[in-house]
Amino acid sequence: MRLWDLDPRRLCRPHLAGEHRELHAIWTVLTEGRTGHSRHPETLRREGRLPALYRRHDLLVSEMSRRGCDHRSPPDPGLARGRAVRDTVVDPPARQIRLLRAKGCDCSV
């Protein structure tokens, strides 16, 4: 499970789609009290920061739309409560770039 801290334009199609899917999983854990992945570092860093998570979703969807993908799963903006700033990371962006480079995908990093 990973939410990148990079501009979505830099992500290849599989990583863009994967992050979108995982963002929805985290959103569900945080808004519905689900327990799956509730202690995962990516989930923990988003606790109390649903406006920031909602904004990340908008960035991902904008990039998906730019690439011709259809989006039909908007999160409920009324649930986006808490801090609007994401101020923690699991891995710093420079490490995230190294991780993506090592995957040998089409991400532009």
In a domain, 1, yes or no: no
In a domain, 65, yes or no: yes
In a domain, 108, yes or no: no
Query: Coil, strand or helix: which one is 13?
Result: helix
Tens-level pLDDT at each residue, the chain (109 residues): 799 999 999 999 999 999 999 999 999 999 999 988 999 999 999 999 999 999 999 999 999 999 999 999 999 999 999 999 988 899 999 999 999 999 999 999 9
Domain hosting residue 64, numbered range? 8-103
**Whole-structure pTM value:** 0.94
In a domain, 53, yes or no: yes
In a domain, 40, yes or no: yes
In a domain, 109, yes or no: no
Domain total in the chain? 1
